[in-house]
Amino acid sequence: MSAYILRRLLLMVPTILGIMLVSFVIVQFAPGGPVERVIAQLQGTDVGATARIGGGGGGDFSGGPKGGQGGEAGSSTYRGAQGLDPAFIKQLEAQYGFDKPAPERFLKMIGDYATFDFGKSYFRDVPVLQLIGEKLPVSISLGLWMLVLSYAISIPLGIAKAMRDGSRFDVWTSAVVIVGYAIPSFLFAILLIVLFAGGSFWQFFPLRGLTSENWAQLSLAGKLADYLWHLVLPITAMALGAFATSTLLTKNSFMDEIRKQYVLTARMKGLSERRVLYGHVFRNAMLIVIAGFPGAFISAFFAGSLLIETIFSLDGLGLLSFESIVNRDYPVVFATLYIFSLLGLVVNLVSDLTYTWVDPRIDFETREI
């Protein structure tokens, strides 16, 4: 097993390099960029979602040189640069590192990322790791509780559906699961706000943030209750369709195992149904659920929370990533991509190791990668 783990760890290096290289190349051909964004800010034509200029690397160019102090930038490759001093454009390029060739910039980025040096945000004048650390509690709260809730519902429900296959319970729960999966989480979130957050009917739950304004003055039990109370609506909206796939996977997996010969043999030996189900069937049936855990883990933490964070005014990683892409804040964009990709690869390795723990018959050591 140690050789398999070593091979997987070594394979992570070219995988990460490939992901970063493809993303870097795409960014080179994408229109706009931090330099053009600053120029648009100065010309008053910026229409970005979030304009936070004034600190990316130490300079505030709101009073920078204008036309007439060295000639117009007629030869500039940046749209909207007319009227700005070419020396000023060169200064902007040097500040953001665009005065160097693309291959040199990529190699420097990879070298820095290898030591987890992600630099500073272009437009916030804050280290990227600090910025991610500030947003992480929100994403952890949403992702962790949603993952726990969805698995806590899907596994028992899938087992119950498998044991009652074809019954009214199975039919009605399948209908509820499919309808819940079909409803977009952001639409359900709006419905919850209208019904329970002071929209048009009742105001049982808070609408903004993870804590109340008086959270610091509350007791430990009060802080916990306040924190959970703020999570009710966003977690409910996110978890509505999150357990549909795992529920149906659990049911089908259990049904396949229940029909196998070893289950019939165990029953003929006089073992109780509970012993057969949880002593024999459960371990084998849960393999397919474990296989889907890495995707569910990554999705719960980073992929599905942007609209929920926006609707409930939660400043998490989803909103940070979106704002960084819109604002062309490349250090934040590439740092989050690097961290999420690395985390995904590690979680997939952990998932494979969990396979061997659940079913010792599985041996990855003898497989060719």
Domain assignment present for 353 = no
Q: Are 150 and 239 in contact (CB under 8 A)?
A: yes
If asked whether residues 154 and 283 sit together in one domain, one would say: yes
Domain assignment present for 364 = no
pLDDT(129) > 60: yes
If asked whether residues 134 and 215 sit together in one domain, one would say: yes
Domain assignment present for 365 = no
**What's the Cα-to-Cα distance from 138 to each of 80, 82, 163, 333, rounded to whole Å?**
38, 43, 38, 18
| Nearest by Cα to 234 from 196, 179, 281 | 196
Residue scoring higher pLDDT (127 or 286): 127
pLDDT(81) > 60: no
Q: Span 340-363, mean pLDDT?
A: 76
Q: What residues make up the domain containing 93?
A: 33-99
If asked whether residues 92 and 168 sit together in one domain, one would say: no
If asked whether residues 272 and 152 sit together in one domain, one would say: yes
pLDDT(51) > 60: no
Which of 13-17, 64-68, 282-286 has the lowest average pLDDT? 64-68
For residue 163, the domain's CATH number is: 1.10.3720.10
Give me the pLDDT at residue 78, please: 56
- Tokens found for residue 141: 């709260």
Residue scoring higher pLDDT (17 or 361): 17
Which of 43-52, 96-105, 146-155, 338-347 has the lowest average pLDDT? 43-52
Domain assignment present for 333 = no
If asked whether residues 93 and 179 sit together in one domain, one would say: no
Which of 66-80, 174-188, 305-319, 329-343 has the lowest average pLDDT? 66-80
Match 């795992």 to its residue by tokens.
246
Q: Span 337-345, mean pLDDT?
A: 85
If asked whether residues 95 and 136 sit together in one domain, one would say: no
State the DSSP H helix or E strand holding residue 56, giving kind and residue range, or none if neither. Answer: none
Domain assignment present for 269 = yes
Q: In this structure, is the dihedral angle defined by the CA atoms of residues 160, 164, 166 and 171, taken in order, positive or negative? A: negative
What is the band of 152 on the pLDDT scale with cuts at 50, 70, 90? confident
Please tell me the distance from the alpha carbon of residue 228 to that of residue 76, in angstroms, as a whole number. Answer: 54
Residue scoring higher pLDDT (51 or 355): 355
If asked whether residues 203 and 255 sit together in one domain, one would say: yes
**What's the Cα-to-Cα distance from 249 to each of 151, 157, 261, 286, 349, rounded to whole Å?**
12, 11, 21, 9, 21
Q: Are 205 and 232 in contact (CB under 8 A)?
A: yes
Please tell me the pTM assigned to this model.
0.70
